[in-house]
Amino acid sequence: MKYAKIIGTGSSVPETVLSNSDLEKMVETSDEWITSRTGIKERRIADDSTAASDIAYEAAEKALRAAGLSAQQLDVIIVGTVTPDFVFPSTACIIQSRLGAKNAYAFDLMAGCSGFLYSLHVAEGIIKSGGVKKILVIGVDLLSKVTNFEDRSTCILFGDGAGAVILSASDKPGILSSILSSDGNNWGLLYVPAGGSRTPIGEEVLKNKEQYIKMQGNDVFKVAVKSMESATVEAIAKADVSAEDIDLFVPHQANYRIVEAVRRRLDFPQEKVFMNLDKYGNTSAASVPLALDEAIHKGRVREGNIVLFAAFGTGFTWGASVVKL
């Protein structure tokens, strides 16, 4: 049986740190208020000249080095993002050019904060279909570019980052299961009103700040907890493992209270949950692969361990995967 196995990871974040103390000077909020409600202490913010492809390229380079591959060995490049460099071409094609991955085909996938898990599942299917051996999967978002830093309900949550993995065809178990779901009926609870074909950017849009994220936080919270819990339970069962077999749970780093609620419902011990949202905030599609890369470098997981991923994002989209490293 052919599996899709992660053989290398990499990540990248901008240098600029925006702390809760910095936000106190920008909006009516406090470090204590932000920390108690989200668990976030700081986040990384890209400068005006940095685009999604810039930090995605850095993460990709690190993943290739970790896998011991050259870019020419890649067959496919998939980028999960909702903040591409341009409306078109795809950010994946820009990264392909910068890497010199001339033998790969490349495309973007949009599923919000679930973008990495959706991309991972698509990549697994491509490998299992045959003929493809090496795929670069990237989750990247610069949500600071679509965040209104006068809106304290959203500006405290989001940061910028990129995470990448190399998937390889293997005879050894890799991705054991994936569960993906969506509910388009709730799209209006978390979205950016303008910038697409529905409402192009114009003078009125800029005046009303409709180019920025709009979110009904309490409603999103309730759906996120329920959805991530159900997806993780299904993914564990589909992988034919038990919760006790999971060595590390790497959830979407959206909010400490969401992660903690899911952890309690699944009865996972805290030491089996990896979180770095205190340093990076919600980096959307980058969240899971960025956390995975850090967990590996910190020695929290190693080859042979079983890892559980879970994410929830705009759309709504959500999912979970069980992966053997």
Is the C-alpha dihedral spanning 295, 296, 299, 300 positive or negative?
positive
List, in sequence order, every residue forming a beta bridge with 248; answer none if it has no partner: 307
Asked if 168 contacts 4 with a C-beta cutoff of 8 angstroms, the reply is yes
Active-site position among 155, 252, 255, 276: 252
Among candidate residues 319, 295, 311, 313, the one with its CA nearest the CA of residue 6: 295
Q: Is 305 a catalytic residue?
A: no
Read off the tokens for 315: 């759309």
Query: Residue 225 corresponds to which tokens in the numbers above?
Result: 């907890």
Which runs of consecutive H residues, i.e. helices, occur in 113-182?
115-128, 152-155
Q: Which of 20, 255, 276, 282 is catalytic?
A: 282
The question of whether 93 is a catalytic residue gets the answer: no
Which residue is catalytic, options 113, 121, 255, 276?
113
Concatenate the DSSP letters of all residues of 197-225 into one string: SSS---HHHHHHTTTS-EE-HHHHHHHHH
The pair of three-digit structure tokens given for residue 105, joined into one six-digit string? 């085909």
DSSP letter assigned to residue 187 = G
Positions marked catalytic: 113, 252, 282
